[in-house]
Each structure stands twice: as structure tokens, then as C-alpha cells.
């Protein structure tokens, strides 16, 4: 256990150490300043703008910004769908044929919305071309879109009496070129050095040592996709078993690189935010809130996995190893579980369906909080900022003053947008679950019976409605109902809040800056930190306690 | 119409440029660098053995488990991924079956079974077992091969990886490598 504690502290310290310089760098990139990579990429950037027919200083209204996000994402949706359905012989050594229309829709929606829910196994379904040109590209741009929209909101706080929130094309291009591509390249090479495969050759066949039976070893351009899947909080595995599969994550070091990559950009963005609004303490408060919620969940999950599972006579008690790789053990599997559900990543290095009931409950709850504990890149922080506005609003009601945050008055229009951001994911999680459990066919899709079976359904729709993408693997997801409903849920829960956030930013940008007075609620101290955590937990608990009682809590009390 | 083009043109151009950069150029660069710098790792960490007649044979990947069932081999974790709740009746039944299998396979052995030998991994192809799970099997392997337990332990120690910096990850024994070494195929 002391190893695990040391390991957790070590990982979090490295994370904090890396996130601060990266956060500063991202803010320089997003505010259009020159950075050290400009020398290399500036000509490329200019060329790209010329092709798009735009100028770098051309700004957009909120409406145009939001429309650009939607049109761009729709382009990606159509491209991935076509690539999957029409999958041909190009870069397809195993000769996989096109997929069903509904699986293609689900997957396209999933990758465009940064969810990466997967109802298929990559190694038995997709050509290398689909993986690289379809899915890898969406890994990049869905992450970049999240950060772009975050900055549209941040500009709303910073600007005074302006009608524009930046240019989506410039934001998207700069974040991809200067942040995501170089970071992914480094991480990809680190992963290959550990044994993550990266080849365009055909699958290997070997005969096994003892039986001589043929064993198929899948290959592919995996490391390049896995790097951005972690950095961009996408999470979709190149292979079906995701990062539990040794070709995705073979060693202790690869595991550390991937775990840190999951949390790196979401935490760095807290630093970027503090710098962008010229008030670093505001960024620090959000970082602290996320970290406290994360550490709380991490402790709970680790304890539950270390002490849970079945004790049988004649077996050494070693915690719950079911669904976990020996090399990652209880410690690194619990850390990964907490990180991937907190940060809206959804990749796994252990099977979440085989976590203990209470460990599984915390994984679920981290998603149900709305993916704001670090959360998706960009989307986590704009979700957290929605909760900040809600907290300011509630505090304002208590003392009878107009609420304000960062010098901007929070008014009814803003609160309507905040409600869209906060309420859509829980609404869709619960509606999806409710519809699914009423179907007679649902029994055929479950592996577990009883309360854990219900948890499989709840987890599936929570994961899709919060753009996470991980699963209780016992749920057989590749059917028309789950593919179509789930695809629609992923799109709605991604793009309705996104558009609301852009409009919120647009509305805030139009406002005057009001000077702080004695009556202004301070949002950078311990009291506000506590208040914010309280609001987050209360909203999450109010939305989900009934379903959690039917699932993991009942599971805990009715099984051993 | 003009107004619509104001968004459509940059959207399509931006998508094309980024697809080219992130889908084609980036993937090609990583593949090139990987094949140049780490060819063995990038192609699946295959174990190649030069046999006595000079031919080279591939025995599998060091990272992907193979099935072993004979008493003279180190046996790895169960291959099937259950996705069952660890506290369910179904899982308890499954574990009991595996415990019974181990006890009938190695009736002399009265030690406690290490948990990793009866639980499935997440991948179903976990190439490793814990050092305790290897130690549990030492006596059986030694007896069935007619070699000393210390010889078996020496081979296991050679293919044991300790925690990084003594506190990161978990110590593991690579099952396939140990078995290849026991068969005299790996030094």
C-alpha cells in the first residue's frame, strides 16, 4: 500500500510540475503570440489560412463561431461515416469490409464528440486508413474544438463591450499545430520505445510454443493514435481491449506516460485560464477544486479495489485483480480509473465492469459530476466555469445582490446558457438509461445479472451522455438501438452545451466590466472553493442518487 | 449563398488541411521515426530465436501471452475476459472452478493460490504473472523437468522485472520468456 501512496503522490507532483509551463505556453498560443515553434510552423499556419480564405485577425460573432464549430464537426461526422461504410482495400492488409450504417454512425458521432465510445474492436473491424485518416484526425480536431470553445468563453470574460469572441478557424489551427501535434509526436515516440506497435504491415501469425496453435498478433499505426487519444481526452482504443492490451500499454513507463497524458492538458488549462483572465488565483482555485475532488475519488477507488473482491479459502488475499493487468496492479489501475473517468477520457487499462461495486460507483460518479473534474480538454474547464457561475448565482441569491464573476454581471440570459451546459448531460444519461431498461431486448445485451446488470446500462448511458466513452464491458453495445440512440445522445450532449458556451461567451463579451466593491463575492478564497465543491456535489448527488442506489449501492449491499 | 460559403469554404479547407497533417503526415512521421529508432518494439516485440541449424524462428511476442497447460511449463493467467462483477455469484463459481483446477493439476501443492492465477486480466493476454504466482509453481516445474528448484528460480529471476525506482508499478515475471528459457531456447 505504501508503494501505491508514493506512486500516486509522485504522479500528481509530476503532473503539477508539467501543467504549469504547458498552461503558460497554451495561453501564449491561444492569444496569438509568437512561440518557439512559430519559426517552424508559422509558414504552414499562413498557408492554411490562405487555403481557407480567411485572415488571422478576422473575428467572429458568437453566432458565427458556433455555426463554424457545428459545420466543421458535421464535415468530420460525414467523413468518418463514409470512411467506415466504404472501407476499401487501401491500407487494409486484413481486408476488412465496410461496417454497418449504424455502427458507422455511432462511431462517427462518438469520435466527433470527443467521446470515443466504441461498439467495435479496432483490430477486427477497421482498416489502417480508417484508423489514421478517420479516427486519428477526429482525435485531434475534437480535442482542438473543445479548447477553442473554452477560449471563446474566456474571451467573453476578458473583453469589454465587444461583439466578437475570436476566430474558430484560427483557434482550431493554432491549438492543433502548436500544442497537440508536437506533444503527440513526443508521446508517440515515448510509447513506441516501450513496445507500443507502430507499423503499416500486416498482422503477424506465430505458432505457440506449447501447442503450436496459430496465434494472430494485430499490428497497425497504434502509437500515433494512442498519443492523441490520451492527450486529447479522447480515449478510443486502437485495439478492442484499449490500454489494457499490451500492444497499447506494455510497461510501467508507458502506463505512466499515458496516465499523465490523460490529465496533462485539462490541468494545464486551469493555469492558462488564470493567465488569460489576468488573475492567476482564479485559475488556481479551479485547479484546487478539481484536484481535491480527484484525490478524494482516487483514495476511495484505491481502498475499495485493495480491500474488495471475494475472499476464498486457499487464495492469498491480494485485492481485486479481476480485469486488471498484473504489471499495473491495484495502484496504477485505480489511478488510471480515476483519471480516465474524471478527465472524460474513457480509455481503460483495466476492465471497469470488474471493479468492486464501490470502486465502480466512484468511476460512475466522476462522470456524473458532468466531466468537470479536469474533464475533457477545454470542455472540462468550460463545464467547471458553468458551475462557478451557478455557485456565484446561488451565493448572490443568498445575500440579495446581482451576482458577478471576473467583473461581469451574471444575468438571466447567462444563467439560461449555464443551465443548458449543466443539465443536458444528466438529463440524457437518465433518459437513455430509462429507455434502455424498459426494452425487453436489454437482457440479451447484459453479462451480469441483478444490480450489476443495471449498472452496466447506467454506466453505458452515463458514459455516452458525458462524452467519456469508457464502458462496463459486459454491455453488448453493437446493436441498432444503442448505436443510434447513443450516437444521438453523444452529439446532443457535446454540441448543445458547446453552442451554449459560445453564446455565453458572446453575451459576456458585450458587457461592461464592473469594478469590484465591498459587496462583491470573492471567488479566489477557501470559502468559495468549499462553496463550489458543495454545489458540484449537490447537483451530482441530486441527479443521480436514485439510480446509483439501484445500481452500485444495491450491488454492494446484496453481494458479498 | 455567399453567406453560406463564408463558413463552408474554410470548414472544408480546414478539414482537408488538418486531415492531411494529422492523418497522413503525422502518422507517416511517427511510423518512420518508430521504424528507424525502435524497429523491434514498433513491430510487436517479437521473440526471435536462432536455432542450432542456423534458422531463425519466431516464438511469439514478449508482450502477448500464450496458453500453457503442461506441468513442466510456467502457467499464466486465465485467458478469458469475464467482465463479471468481482462480487457476483457467477464470478465466485468461476473462481472456484479455477481453484479446483489448480488443486487437481498440482495436488501436492498446499500453499495459498496467488490471486492473479485465478483472475482474468483486462486484455485476456496478460504476458505476466506476479513473482508469488511464479514461486507457487517452482516445485511442480522442477519435479516434472527433473531439475533443481534453484535452477527454476534462477530462470524466473532472470525474467522478473522489478518495480521502477522501487515504487512504480508492480514486479512481474514474463511467462513466455521463462518457458523459452526452461526449454533452452532463450539464454
Instruction: Please report residues of B whose CB lies closer than 8 A to that of A232.
Output: none
| A460 within a domain of the structure (yes/no) | yes
A306: its cell numbers: 485493495
Q: What is the pLDDT of residue A251?
A: 98
Q: CB neighbours of A470 closer than 8 A, spacing ≥ 6?
A: A235, A340, A341, A345, A346, A347, A348, A352, A363, A459, A463
CB A457 within 8 A of CB A550: no
Q: CB neighbours of A221 closer than 8 A, spacing ≥ 6?
A: A128, A131, A132, A136, A198, A199, A200, B27, B30, B31
Q: Which of residues 87-116 of B touch A (CB under 8 A)?
A: 87-92, 95-96, 99, 103, 112-116
Which positions of chain A have pLDDT values less than 50? none
The DSSP line for A496-554 is: HHHHHHHHHHHHHHHSPPPPP-TTSPPSSSHHHHHHHHHHHHHHHHHHHHHHHIIIIIH
Expressed as residue numbers, the domain containing A524 is 381-558
Query: Min CA distance, A314 vs chain B (Å)?
Result: 5
| A187 within a domain of the structure (yes/no) | no
Q: What is the pLDDT of residue A96?
A: 95
Q: CB neighbours of B29 closer than 8 A, spacing ≥ 6?
A: A185
| A12 within a domain of the structure (yes/no) | no
Q: What is the pLDDT of residue A518?
A: 80
Asked if B86 and A312 come within 8 Å (Cβ–Cβ), the reply is: no
Asked if B26 and A316 come within 8 Å (Cβ–Cβ), the reply is: no
A63: its cell numbers: 453566432
| A155 within a domain of the structure (yes/no) | no
Q: How many CA atoms lie within 13 A of A169 on its CB side?
A: 31
Asked if A559 and B22 come within 8 Å (Cβ–Cβ), the reply is: no
Cα–chain center distance at A157? 24
Q: What is the pLDDT of residue A400?
A: 85
| A19 within a domain of the structure (yes/no) | no
Which positions of chain B have pLDDT values less than 70? 1-5
Q: What are phi and psi of A545, to 5 degrees?
A: -55, -45
Query: Min CA distance, A324 vs chain B (Å)?
Result: 5
Question: How far is the C-alpha of A27 from the C-alpha of A269, rounded, in Å?
Answer: 8
Q: What is the pLDDT of residue B2?
A: 57
Cα–chain center distance at A275? 23
Please indicate if any CB of chain A lies within 8 Å of the CB of B25. no
Q: Where are the alpha helices (DSSP H) in A202-279?
A: 222-231, 252-276
Q: What are phi and psi of A131, to 5 degrees?
A: -60, -50
Q: What is the pLDDT of residue A314?
A: 86
Count of CB atoms situated within 10 Å of the CB of A399: 9
Instruction: Please report residues of B whose CB lies closer than 8 A to that of A50.
Output: none
Query: Min CA distance, A24 vs chain B (Å)?
Result: 24
Asked if B67 and A210 come within 8 Å (Cβ–Cβ), the reply is: yes
Instruction: Please report residues of A whose CB lies closer than 8 A to that of B164.
Output: 252-253
The DSSP line for B49-101 is: EE-TTS-EEEEEETTS-----STTS-----S------TTSHHHHHHHHHHHHH
Q: How many domains does chain A have?
A: 1
> Looking at the predicted complex, does its ipTM rise above 0.90?
yes
Amino acid at each position: 500500500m505504501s508503494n501505491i501512496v508514493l506512486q500516486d503522490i509522485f504522479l500528481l507532483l509530476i503532473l503539477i510540475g508539467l501543467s504549469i509551463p504547458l498552461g503558460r505556453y497554451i495561453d501564449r498560443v491561444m492569444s496569438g503570440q509568437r512561440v518557439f515553434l512559430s519559426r517552424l510552423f508559422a509558414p504552414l499556419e499562413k498557408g492554411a489560412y490562405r487555403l481557407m480564405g480567411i485572415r488571422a485577425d478576422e473575428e467572429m460573432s458568437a453566432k458565427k463561431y458556433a455555426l463554424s464549430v457545428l459545420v466543421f464537426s458535421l464535415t468530420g461526422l460525414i467523413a468518418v461515416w463514409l470512411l467506415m461504410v466504404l472501407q476499401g482495400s487501401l491500407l487494409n492488409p486484413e481486408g476488412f469490409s465496410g461496417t454497418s450504417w449504424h455502427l458507422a454512425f455511432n462511431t462517427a458521432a462518438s469520435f466527433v464528440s470527443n467521446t470515443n465510445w466504441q461498439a467495435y474492436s479496432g483490430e477486427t473491424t477497421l482498416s489502417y486508413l480508417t484508423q489514421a485518416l478517420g479516427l486519428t484526425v477526429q482525435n485531434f480536431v475534437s480535442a482542438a474544438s473543445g479548447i477553442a470553445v473554452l477560449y471563446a468563453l474566456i474571451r467573453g470574460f476578458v473583453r469589454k463591450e465587444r461583439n466578437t469572441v475570436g476566430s474558430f478557424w484560427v483557434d482550431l489551427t493554432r491549438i492543433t499545430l502548436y500544442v497537440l501535434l508536437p506533444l503527440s509526436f513526443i508521446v508517440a515516440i515515448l510509447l513506441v520505445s516501450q513496445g507500443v506497435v507502430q507499423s503499416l504491415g500486416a498482422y503477424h501469425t506465430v505458432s505457440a510454443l506449447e501447442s503450436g496453435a496459430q496465434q494472430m498478433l494485430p499490428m497497425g499505426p497504434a502509437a500515433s493514435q494512442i498519443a492523441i487519444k490520451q492527450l486529447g481526452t479522447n480515449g478510443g482504443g486502437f485495439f478492442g481491449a484499449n490500454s489494457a492490451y499490451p500492444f497499447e500499454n506494455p510497461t510501467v513507463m508507458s502506463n505512466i506516460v499515458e496516465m499523465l497524458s490523460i490529465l496533462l492538458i485539462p490541468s494545464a488549462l486551469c493555469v492558462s485560464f488564470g493567465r488569460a483572465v489576468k488573475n492567476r488565483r482564479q485559475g488556481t482555485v479551479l485547479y484546487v477544486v478539481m484536484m481535491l475532488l480527484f484525490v478524494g475519488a482516487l483514495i476511495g477507488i484505491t481502498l475499495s479495489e485493495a480491500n474488495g473482491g471475494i475472499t476464498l479459502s486457499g487464495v492469498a488475499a491480494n485485492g481485486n485483480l479481476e480485469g486488471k493487468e498484473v504489471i499495473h496492479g491495484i495502484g496504477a489501475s485505480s489511478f488510471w480509473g480515476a483519471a480516465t473517468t474524471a478527465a472524460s477520457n474513457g480509455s481503460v487499462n483495466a476492465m471497469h465492469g470488474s471493479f468492486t461495486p464501490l470502486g465502480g460507483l466512484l468511476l460512475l460518479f466522476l462522470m456524473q459530476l458532468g466531466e468537470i473534474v479536469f474533464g475533457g480538454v477545454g470542455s472540462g474547464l468550460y463545464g467547471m466555469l458553468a458551475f462557478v457561475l451557478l455557485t456565484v448565482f446561488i451565493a448572490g441569491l443568498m445575500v440579495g445582490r446581482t451576482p458577478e464573476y471576473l467583473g461581469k454581471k451574471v444575468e438571466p440570459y447567462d444563467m439560461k446558457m449555464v443551465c443548458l451546459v449543466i443539465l443536458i448531460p444528466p438529463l440524457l444519461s437518465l433518459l437513455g438509461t430509462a429507455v434502455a431498461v424498459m426494452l425487453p431486448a436489454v437482457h440479451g445485451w447484459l453479462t451480469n445479472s441483478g444490480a450489476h446488470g443495471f449498472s452496466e446500462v447506467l454506466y453505458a448511458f452515463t458514459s455516452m451522455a458525458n462524452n467519456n466513452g469508457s464502458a462496463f464491458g459486459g454491455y453488448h453495445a453493437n446493436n441498432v438501438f444503442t448505436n443510434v440512440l447513443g450516437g444521438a445522445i453523444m452529439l446532443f450532449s457535446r454540441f448543445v452545451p458547446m453552442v451554449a458556451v459560445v453564446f455565453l461567451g458572446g453575451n459576456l463579451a458585450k458587457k461592461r466590466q464592473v469594478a469590484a466593491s465591498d459587496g462583491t463575492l470573492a471567488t479566489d478564497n477557501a470559502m468559495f472553493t468549499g462553496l463550489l465543491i458543495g454545489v458540484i456535489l449537490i447537483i451530482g448527488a441530486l441527479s443521480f442518487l436514485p439510480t446509483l442506489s439501484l445500481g452500485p449501492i444495491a450491488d454492494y449491499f446484496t453481494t458479498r | 449563398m455567399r453567406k453560406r460559403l463564408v463558413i463552408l469554404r474554410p470548414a472544408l479547407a480546414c478539414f482537408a488541411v488538418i486531415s492531411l497533417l494529422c492523418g497522413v503526415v503525422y502518422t507517416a512521421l511517427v511510423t518512420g521515426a518508430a521504424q528507424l529508432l525502435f524497429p523491434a518494439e514498433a513491430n510487436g516485440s517479437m521473440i526471435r530465436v536462432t536455432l542450432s541449424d542456423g534458422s531463425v524462428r519466431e516464438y511469439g511476442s514478449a508482450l502477448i501471452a500464450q496458453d500453457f497447460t503442461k506441468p513442466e511449463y510456467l502457467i499464466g493467467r486465465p485467458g478469458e475476459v469475464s467482465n463479471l462483477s468481482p462480487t457476483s455469484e457467477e464470478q465466485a463459481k468461476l473462481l472456484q472452478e479455477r481453484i479446483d483446477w489448480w488443486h487437481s493439476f498440482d495436488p501436492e501443492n498446499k500453499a495459498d493460490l496467488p490471486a492473479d492465477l485465478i483472475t482474468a486480466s483486462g486484455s485476456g493476454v496478460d504476458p505476466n504473472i506476479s513473482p508469488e504466482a511464479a514461486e507457487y509453481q517452482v516445485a511442480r516445474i522442477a519435479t516434472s523437468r527433473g531439475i533443481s528448484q534453484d535452477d527454476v528460480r534462477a530462470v524466473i529471476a532472470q525474467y522478473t522485472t522489478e518495480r521502477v525506482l522501487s515504487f512504480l508499478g508492480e514486479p512481474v515475471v514474463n511467462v513466455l520468456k521463462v518457458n523459452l528459457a526452461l526449454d533452452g531456447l532463450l539464454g
